[in-house]
Amino acid sequence: MELPSFPPSFPPSLLTRRLALPLSATPLLRLGNQYSRDLRAERESEMSDSGGAPWWVVVTGASQGFGAAICTELAPLLPPGSRVLGLARSQQGLATTAAAVTKANPAITFSPVVMDLATAKAMDYEATLKDHLGTGQSTPPGQALLFHNAGSLGTVKYLREMDDATRLSTYFDLNISSVILLNAAFMRLISTLSGKVIVKVINVSSLCALEPFKSWGLYCTGKAGRDMLFKVLAVEDPGVRVLNYAPGPLDTGMQVHARTMTQDDDIRKTFTSMKEEGKLLSCQSSVKKLLQFLEKDEFKSGDHVDFFEV
Ligand SMILES: NC(=O)c1ccc[n+]([C@@H]2O[C@H](COP(=O)([O-])OP(=O)(O)OC[C@H]3O[C@@H](n4cnc5c(N)ncnc54)[C@H](OP(=O)(O)O)[C@@H]3O)[C@@H](O)[C@H]2O)c1
């Protein structure tokens, strides 16, 4: 995919212009009932191809924001018997997501698992996947989806002011290492299953994977690193469909952090203006677009795609 050519230093005016595209400028976006009908019809056709077998879905950061929206928007589309595993630290947030998922589709199971991804070990991921999805002896799912959604902005100070090695390690433990470990455990489990399983791995990325934002050095580095990890996965495992999806500016807790903590005045004011001017997206609208894009399945594995470009 051709990358957009932005100047090396990303002026807030350009950021605002780029992120302010109206939803109507994206013809593929079909919201509401029409979207649901179309997607459901396509899904039913795909399900009939695979015999309507239940799916396995893993979502990190399922307690709030974009991760919770992935769970609740996907739930009504899943075949009966599907299993959704949601990981996060907040028990209460996961319970809220669990209730919404069950309401949306009582025929599937949602497993809320409290886990700090910054400290979890490989064996924790292996055990959790086996406990809540299945083992090599289980009936294989029709599809297995892994959404690497959890993430943090971290310290939003200029690079010249970074002085805490422990914070840096913790940042990359969550935003890079946990992704590698969970992904590896998931791939190993899938490789033990008999029969053909459609596997899709989605990394929730950001414009920051491509563009430098002043005082967001950790976040930009983490997102760029994650994108490359999944490009490598795409070439290592051509049978797996891999997507780096930048969901657009979302009205979530992460945006509150961006508006209140960002050291760089221009970046902070840009995000404050976007909130005040109603330019932040709802998680639901971005998830709908992601699910539709996954459904069409026309991307090159490993691509980075942006909400405003699909
Ligand atoms: N918001 C935006 O404008 C925007 C734009 C582009 C990309 N994104 C990306 O979208 C994804 C979701 O962001 P969001 O806006 O929904 O943020 P959010 O509201 O802050 O949610 C972050 C999620 O990650 C989980 N998480 C954070 N630290 C964790 C840890 N140590 N262990 C386990 N889970 C942890 C949180 O759960 P707990 O706190 O319960 O652990 C929460 O569910 C992120 O990857 C973000 O980089 C966001």
Residue 293 and residue 245 in contact, taking contact as beta carbons nearer than 8 Å: yes
CA of 63 to the centre of ligand 1 (A): 9
pTM of the model: 0.88
All domains of the chain in start order, with CATH: 54-247+285-306 (3.40.50.720)
Angle in degrees, CA 286, 288, 289, rounded to 5: 65
Instruction: Please identify which residue in the block is written with the tokens 């932040």.
Output: 280
CA dist 95 and 79 (Å) reads: 22
Report how far ligand 1's centroid is from the alpha carbon of 254 (Å): 7
Q: What is the pLDDT of residue 81?
A: 97
**Phi and psi (nearest 5°) for 123?**
-65, -30
pLDDT in the model for residue 51:
52
Rounded-to-integer distance, Cα 77 and Cα 54, Å = 11
Beta bridge partners of 56: 83, 144
Nearest CA to ligand 1 atom 44: 151
Q: How far is the CA of 93 from the centre of ligand 1 (A)?
A: 12
CB neighbours of residue 3 within 10 Å: 8
How does 86-104 read in b/e, with b if 16+ C-beta sit within 10 Å?
bbbeeeebbebbbebbeeb
For every one of its 310 residues, what pLDDT tens digit does the chain have, with 9 covering 90 and above?
Answer: 323 333 223 333 334 333 333 333 222 223 333 334 444 444 444 444 445 899 999 999 999 999 999 999 999 999 999 999 999 999 999 999 999 999 999 999 999 999 999 999 999 999 999 999 998 888 999 999 999 999 999 999 999 999 999 999 999 999 999 999 999 999 999 999 998 899 999 999 999 999 999 999 999 999 999 999 999 999 999 999 999 999 999 999 999 999 999 999 999 999 999 999 999 999 999 999 999 999 999 999 999 999 999 9
